[in-house]
Amino acid sequence: MLLAIGRRGTPRKLGVPGEELEKVAYRLLEPEDIKDKNIVVVGGGDSAIESALLLAYQNTVILSYRGETFNRLKLKNAEKIQSAIQNGIVKVKFNSNIAAITSDTVAFSSHGSTEKEIIANDLVYIFAGGELPTEF
């Protein structure tokens, strides 16, 4: 007998105010249709990097990552995101977390700081892994 529960599970939530808003998504569908938006992508893995890069050529993209550096990327994704950062295509906020989401803003907190940075925002994409359905 084989029980297949999938690999991704349920997307991991951030647990922040506003995360339930319609502008928040956990997967990217049809990025070519998204234009002229202020977008925050959350995460530091390959899915987050690939999504940020797909969105960055038609939008303003900020990538929020809780770590100090990207350390688990495929080589090609690491090269592409470094090039995008150097060329000003994607802005990265290392050591950051989303503190709150409203209909038109996102508030960031940085490790070691009590102050919040609030920026204008249209869409939020969260790629923070998944919660596996292992409770049988």
Show me where the domains of the chain are located: 12-128
Is the pLDDT score of 132 beyond 60? no
- The answer to whether the beta carbons of residues 47 and 130 sit under 8 Å apart is no
The neighbouring-strand residues paired with 10 are 131
Distance CA(83)–CA(77), nearest Å, equals 10
Distance CA(17)–CA(38), nearest Å, equals 19
Domain 12-128 CATH class label: alpha beta
Q: Which residues of 87-119 are buried (b: 16+ CB within 10 A; e: fewer)?
A: eebbbbbeebbbbbbeeeebbbbbeeeeeeeee
Quote the percentage of the chain above a pLDDT of 90.
76
- What are 56-99's pLDDT values in tens digits? 999 999 999 999 999 889 999 999 999 999 999 999 999 999 99
Q: What is the average pLDDT across 95-108?
A: 96
pTM strictly above 0.95: no
Least confident of 15-19, 47-51, 68-72, 109-113: 109-113
